[in-house]
Amino acid sequence: MEFYFLGTNAGVPTIQRNVTSIALRLLEERRSMWLFDCGEGTQQEVLRSPLKLSRLEKIFITHLHGDHLFGLPGLLSSRAYQGGTTPLTVYGPPGIQQYIELSLGISQSRINYQLHIVEHTGGVLFDDGQFRVESALLDHRIDSYGYRVVEMDKPGKLNQELLERYGIKPGPVYGKLKRGESVEVEGGVILHPQDVLGSPKKGRIITILGDTRPCSNTVVLAQDATVVVHEATFLHELSDTAYEYHHSTALQAAEAAKAAGAGQLIMTHFSSRYKDQEQLQPLLEEARGIFPNSLLAEQHVLLSVPDIG
């Protein structure tokens, strides 16, 4: 899995940074892409990236502020022109369906693929055996949600040396054992998956939070996460401003990651007062004083999700 940040600015786009949108590429797992938020100009940033809208499978909107969804109607209508013909599901708070249908309807935009819209107020959004996605309400001026993506554990590696002793070569039998099925081999011997599979590979947990003040659900959603993506709109010297506008500081993001026992923190959603990556360095230093494994999201920079173990 890989993160690709299409926008990291808060509120409005600047020359240096676009507003919020995060792509999560699921490479080995399903060769698809999920998008978290879709601020104005997201589709233009996609064109400047290695991402393909034809791979887009799901979009998760954290809340209905413009810097998180003004790019959605354009991206949805343009997707087909970039080879996107497969079904697409959009998840978001109540109101997202009205917003999409009004925008596409008034502009007479035609969607030539199946578009599903799922409004939610938290809870488990889906579980397909590969991934489970949960959501919970945060603390913002309007309802804002965080998302917790849980990758299911994978079967361990096959003991090829043992299989070769039974005359089994790579092929359909390998697949059956990986799927947990027992197989009969030469001589009537029954091989069970537990006989030839190593320890399961632990699945990763990705937490992506919408705009929020510090609150208990940030820690709940980020509990034991491999990576947590948290807004860090301001330095902590502006904590009063952050509180007034229902945002968090870099220090508060680090405190949440530490309290949750997360593996890594990636900060995003930076105030326009911090013009470039150099001016963002104090936020990074502030966070690392609390949680050393902290990073700054950088637009058009790929970040791999670490494996576990």
Catalytic residues: 67
120 known member of a binding site: no
269 known member of a binding site: yes
Distance CA 57, CA 30 (A): 10
Query: How crowded is residue 176: how many other Cβ atoms within 10 Å of its Cβ?
Result: 14
DSSP 261: T
127 known member of a binding site: no
In 3D space, the residue among 284, 235, 231, 282 whose CA is nearest the CA of residue 256 turns out to be: 231
Q: Is the dihedral of CA 142, 220, 251, 262 positive or negative?
A: negative
From residue 137, give the alpha-carbon distance in Å to each of 20, 195, 196, 248, 298.
Answer: 19, 44, 44, 15, 26
65 known member of a binding site: yes
Are the beta carbons of 289 and 254 closer than 8 angstroms?
yes
Q: Which residue has the tokens 């020359």?
A: 15
Residue by residue, DSSP assigns 53-65 as GGGEEEEE-----
140 known member of a binding site: yes
116 known member of a binding site: no
In 3D space, the residue among 61, 3, 60 whose CA is nearest the CA of residue 298 turns out to be: 3
∠ CA 275-278-284, nearest 5°, is 105
- Residue 266, beta-bridge partner list: 229, 295
Give me the sheet containing 131-137, strands edge to edge. 123-127, 131-137, 145-151, 205-209, 227-231, 265-268, 294-296
Distance CA 248, CA 235 (A): 9
192 known member of a binding site: no
* Secondary structure tally for the chain: helices H, strands E: 12, 16
Residue positions forming the annotated binding site = 63, 65, 67-68, 140, 211, 269
Q: List the binding residues for Zn(2+).
A: 63, 65, 67-68, 140, 211, 269
